[in-house]
A = this chain, B = another copy of it.
């Protein structure tokens, strides 16, 4: 069965726990992780923005995609990173998830896929 493109908006919510604090403050590493996820998804990146809070703070970053977005917010003090992989169309969401996890190792993760626009 072929589903219409519009019913294929999938929003992956990934909470990583036990992330190394230094990794969670490393903007270059975080940026590579998001680009690896975008490439694995076969997405087209339109724009990026990354912000380092400095000191004990983490990173917040975003890739705006032709097919929606990938975002990350990290809390190094809690070893936590919250990642969103929101894709429409036939993009490879699970491959993006795997690529992200390879670049940003965690002791534990919570991965959920939420359907968007399914009406």
A residues near B (Cβ < 8 Å) are 6, 9, 11, 13, 15, 17, 46-47, 49, 51, 53, 60-62, 64-66, 68-69, 71, 73, 75, 78, 80, 82, 84, 86, 88, 108, 110, 112, 114, 116-117, 119
Contact = CB atoms under 8 A, between A and B. Distances in A.
A47 B15 CA distance: 23
A84 B73 CA distance: 14
* Number of copies of chain A assembled together: 2
B46 A60 contact: yes
A73 B84 CA distance: 14
Nearest to A18: B119
Given A15-B117, A69-B62, A73-B86, A6 B47 contact: no
Given A15-B116, A110-B119, A71 B73 contact: no
Contacts of A66: 53, 60
Nearest to A11: B13
